[in-house]
Amino acid sequence: MAEHSPTTPAAAVAPATARALDGLLASAQVSSRLPSVVAGIVRDGELVWSGARGRVDGARPQPATQYRIGSITKTFVAAGVLRANEDGLVGLDDRIDDHLPELGDSIGHLTVGQLLGQASGLQAETDGPWWERTAGGDWPQLAASLGPASQRHRAGVRFHYSNVGYGVLGELLGRLRSSTWHEVVAEQFLVPLGMTRTTLRPDGPHAPGLAVHPWADVVLPEPEHDGGAMAPAGQIWSTVGDLARWAGVVAGRSDVLRPATVEAMRQPQVVDDTRGAAWAGGYGLGLQLWNDAGRRYAGHSGSMPGFVAMLRVDVETSDAVVAMTNSTTGFGDLPTRLLKAYAEAEPKPPAEWVPREVPADVLELVGPWYWGPTPLVVRATAVGLELSGLGGRARGSRFVPTEGGWRGLDEYYAGEPLRVVRRDDGSVSHLDLASFRLTRTPYNPDGDVPGGVHPDGWGAPGR
């Protein structure tokens, strides 16, 4: 079976669960012919299980063994840009040439948000040789290679994955902080999170990148190099323990990013519907998104010659899986199977219910309301209010307090205002939601319903 990592907390998972996860890891190592593979499960921001299989330098991979995480690097770059957005240094709607003026004659019209969300239409790869297997050039070389023809699709209309776009964002991040992108990432994320084994190049014990022959059990070393200006697209190396800490950030379990920023990263910007079916994959602001029969996951995959990696978070439970291997062809759906096996064996219990204080001006808003004849209900939540239907189809949303009222967080009413209208005596008359009026009874004439209410009121059919 797979060898446990010493970093795994004692009795973090039940012995039967550990055996099942170990078995999945061992089977994948054989069936996918992986020189070595490591994986971990994260719950509530903590690594609760990890395992290793195969050999690195003749021995099982250790907790300190590094693997290249490929495009998971993009999540760090995106987080850095969004931190700069939090600090007012850049806007998501800013043109990229507002900050990188040398791009003004080529792709300068693209916005920062479009680049983050893989919605820019920018070319997927560089014009030169296979950048993942050759030493990279500097930023002036990359910038000079970008012209009007570099935009393959009209911006903002479709998903088109662009490694080049993240080369641009890496330069932007460094320029915003008068540093380099990887120094910013280290200062803002790696050091605060204690990710001491996450580096730009391999440092200390690390797995060599290997290709496995498709028809024989032999391997070929893959090259390792500095990607230069393209490094922000996929150069970082990490370990299971360190990547588990970053999974906690993606799960919203860390204060290195504001909760609203993490939620924005997980909000779909574009979906991949190129096959014409219901969307199963998409992209947020620096995160890949998956829709598995309505269950949402966020994170990122990564691949570079010799390596494949995965970080995947269940948005509903915040459980996560991380996995890495030193094989170019990777481990298939192993991460998904590990996460599902853990969830089935040890379902996450709901948070304990406890009573809490609700302000009087919020408490008087809860209960049934009506949009015309449609019954709705308002409930008080930890963050504000929640509007939903009482049976049947109805528009709903969560709302947070703002100066003078409330603002929708999601669904149809995202960003829309909710205003409480009071009578002269201070009691609540009705709610104004966008242009709609919600009343305590269906079409209550006292609610000043737009268009008026028939003077005869409710009656028999055909009246």
Among 135, 137, 149, CA closest to 106 = 149
With vertex at residue 61, the alpha carbon angle to CA 58 and CA 64, rounded to the nearest 5 degrees, is 125
pLDDT band at 6 (very low <50, low <70, confident <90, very high): very low
Distance CA 66, CA 121 (A): 33
Residue 278 CB-density burial (10 A; 0-12 exposed, 13-18 middle, 19+ buried): exposed
User: What is residue 329's predicted lDDT score, i.e. its pLDDT?
Assistant: 96
pLDDT band at 4 (very low <50, low <70, confident <90, very high): very low
What is the number of other CB atoms lying within 10 angstroms of the CB of residue 65? 23
Which helix (H) or strand (E) segment holds residue 170: the answer is helix 163-176
Average of per-residue pLDDT across 311-320: 97
Condensed to tens digits (0 to 9), the pLDDT of residues 118-168 reads: 999 999 989 978 888 888 899 999 999 999 999 999 999 899 999 999 999
Q: Hey, is 117 helix, strand or coil? A: coil
Distance CA 413, CA 398 (A): 8
Distance CA 438, CA 446 (A): 11
User: What is residue 17's predicted lDDT score, i.e. its pLDDT?
Assistant: 97
Contact 314, 343 (CB under 8 A): yes
What residue type is 255 in one-letter code? D
Range in 227-231, 265-269, 279-283 with the lowest mean pLDDT: 279-283
pTM of the model: 0.90
First to last CA, the chain: 77
Condensed to tens digits (0 to 9), the pLDDT of residues 299-315 reads: 999 999 999 999 999 99
What distance lies between CA 420 and its chain's CA centroid? Answer: 34
Name every residue whose Cβ is closer than 8 Å to that of residue 78 and which is 6 or more positions away in sequence: 116, 169, 265, 285, 286, 287
Asked if the model's pLDDT at residue 294 lies above 60, the reply is yes
Distance CA 167, CA 186 (A): 17
Share of the chain above pLDDT 70, in %: 96
* Phi, psi for residue 324 in degrees, rounded to 5: -150, 145
Which helix (H) or strand (E) segment holds residue 185: the answer is helix 181-185
What residue type is 356 in one-letter code? R
Distance CA 272, CA 274 (A): 6
What residue type is 298 in one-letter code? A
What is the number of other CB atoms lying within 10 angstroms of the CB of residue 177? 18
Average of per-residue pLDDT across 350-365: 94
Tokens of 80: 């850095």
Domains of the chain in start order, with CATH, are 360-447 (2.40.128)
Contact 419, 431 (CB under 8 A): yes
Condensed to tens digits (0 to 9), the pLDDT of residues 231-253 reads: 999 999 999 999 999 999 999 99
- Please give the residue that has the higher pLDDT: either 35 or 390: 35
Condensed to tens digits (0 to 9), the pLDDT of residues 377-434 reads: 999 999 899 999 987 778 899 999 999 899 998 889 999 999 999 999 999 999 999 9
